[in-house]
Amino acid sequence: MATTTADREQWGSRIGFILAAAGSAIGLGNIWRFPFKAGENGGAAFVIVYLVCIALICLPYLFAELALGRNSQKNPVGAIAAIKQGTPWKLVGGLCVLTGVFILSYYGVVAGWAVGYIFKGAVAPGVESGMFFETFIADPARVIPLLGLFMLLTIGVVYGGVEQGIERWAKVLMPILLILMFVVIFRSVTLPGAEAGLSFYLNPDFSKINGTVILEALGQAFFSLSLGMGAMITYGSYLPKRENLLVSGGYVALFDTAIALLSGLMIFPAVFAMGQDPSEGAALVFVVLPEVFDAMPLGGFVGTVFFILLSIAALTSTVSLMEVVVSYFVDETQWSRAASVWIVGGFTFAVGLPSALAQGGSDLFTNQLQLFGQTGFLNIMDFIWGSLSLALGALLLSIFVGWVWGTGNAIDELQQGADGGFQGTLPTVWAAFLKYVCPIVIAVIFGAIATGVI
Ligand code: PFF
């Protein structure tokens, strides 16, 4: 029997929800993607634009996803159907579920690399990083088992359910993550020559801001907060009515932003201290940082710690990607959680195989496949699902909440549990952001991504 609202699981505590949702938001996006995007797009100037995007676009939109989820107590498809039954709007929920599967499939591949790198210091100490990276990610005998391992870890957590699985693990893993980050930051900022990195990262040169920087910052902000594919609808659906969505959502955005900023603090001082190039791109974490680790005292230990940390952050994100899909099957079909988790995990692993083979493992998936100006299966998947689909999902969901469900209903939901803290002009301002600012700005990013400007 499909689950009814009455027997649906809920988070056990406020902090449990905040840590689980922050765990979803904090991932490869913060620690790997944010620093390399900042490095490529002008350093501190990018950081400032990013912060403005989080505050003005992502935060108002995050409240809309949380309100929709808690109101319906359903997965993204069920949440939309509960409000507008029998209309094509349900397809937007379907898009969320599909996006979850497909992002998970290639995100799991990169997460597998992070796990593999935990052992790099032990198996290949001092091997030239660029060479090591290229051979490592091209080797099917390593990347495929690592993808499988990462899927199993994700399955293990999601199998446990909301309170006993996701919440319990997030409460342990997230504080460990924070402690490990401070260890690496301490090492990084105390290296001789670290000041140049701090200045690149913290002193903005406003002449560096242009259209591309703004669009990149916005896209990064959505990806980082796990917005546009119903992850926050799903996590919001396990929240009780007494919960203050604005305060909890605010904490999630705060933690996510703080971890992104701390990641920059971890990486840029070290990169500059070692005379490396901050605009190295996607290789920043996997190629430049290991060189940094190799060349510093206690580097083997710090490197291992760093990749444990990256794997933990990725795991709490893959858990949320899988939960979106699993909650759909648990709510809408006869499948049990156990069956859903194994079927979704197995299917995603299979879909992930071409991405695992897309860095040299197979010529077809690495070089021959080209689409939308992207080369290789993994890059194409990231472009379609990690950029295009998130922007489209966020656009349609902000229109759905703002115009179809209506901001009046959403405000009623947000006021529940807010202890009178969401009154006066605040709701009106929020409604204006959700109905006008968010869709217009998101439509601009969507158009820019779709037409290849970014
Ligand atoms: N927010 C995650 C990160 O920054 O790594 C990625 C992500 C997770 C995106 C979950 C979307 C999502 F639903």
For residue 421, what is the domain's CATH number? Answer: 1.20.1740.10
Q: For ligand 1, what atom is nearest to the CA of residue 324?
A: 13
What tens digit of pLDDT does each residue of 199-222 get? 999 999 999 988 888 888 988 999
Check residue 1 and give its pLDDT.
40
User: For atom 12 of ligand 1, which residue has the closest CA?
Assistant: 226
The three-state DSSP-derived secondary structure of 138-179 is HCHHHHHHHHHHHHHHHHHHHHCCHHHHHHHHHHHHHHHHHH
- Entry field: residues in the chain: 454
Give the sign of the dihedral formed by CA 173, CA 175, CA 177, CA 183.
negative
Give residue 228 CA to ligand 1 midpoint distance, Å: 10
Give residue 101 CA to ligand 1 midpoint distance, Å: 12
Give residue 115 CA to ligand 1 midpoint distance, Å: 18
Token reading at 85? 């039954």
Binned at pLDDT 50, 70 and 90, residue 340 comes out as very high
How far is CA 338 from each of CA 1, 42, 231, 343, rounded to the nearest angstrom?
A: 14, 46, 20, 9
What tens digit of pLDDT does each residue of 53-111 get? 999 999 999 999 999 999 999 999 999 999 998 899 999 999 999 999 999 999 999 99
Predicted confidence (pLDDT) at residue 3 exceeds the cutoff of 80: no
In terms of pLDDT, which residue wins out, 5 or 286?
286
Q: Any idea what DSSP says for residue 206?
A: G
Give residue 152 CA to ligand 1 midpoint distance, Å: 18
Check residue 16 and give its pLDDT.
84
Pocket around ligand 1 at a 6 A CB cut-off:
24-25, 27-30, 103, 223-224, 226, 229, 231, 317, 320-321
Section 338-356 average pLDDT: 97
Q: Is residue 277 a contact partner of residue 298, using CB atoms and an 8 Å limit?
A: no
Instruction: Report d(CA 182, CA 437) in Å as an integer.
Output: 36
**E strand map for 7-89:** none
Give residue 390's domain range: 5-450
Instruction: Report d(CA 325, CA 227) in Å as an integer.
Output: 15
Number of structural domains (the chain) is 1
Instruction: Report d(CA 297, CA 291) in Å as an integer.
Output: 12
In terms of pLDDT, which residue wins out, 450 or 29?
29
Q: At 371, phi and psi to the nearest 5?
A: -160, 140
Q: What is the pTM of this model?
A: 0.91
Q: For ligand 1, what atom is nearest to the CA of residue 100?
A: 13
Q: Is residue 256 a contact partner of residue 30, using CB atoms and an 8 Å limit?
A: yes
Weakest mean pLDDT among 72-81, 92-101, 321-330, 384-393: 384-393
Check residue 69 and give its pLDDT.
96
Q: Is residue 266 a contact partner of residue 432, using CB atoms and an 8 Å limit?
A: no
Give residue 106 CA to ligand 1 midpoint distance, Å: 12
Q: For ligand 1, what atom is nearest to the CA of residue 313?
A: 5
Give residue 409 CA to ligand 1 midpoint distance, Å: 27
Q: Any idea what DSSP says for residue 349?
A: H
Check residue 210 and give its pLDDT.
85
* Helix (DSSP H) and strand (DSSP E) numbers for the chain: 25, 2
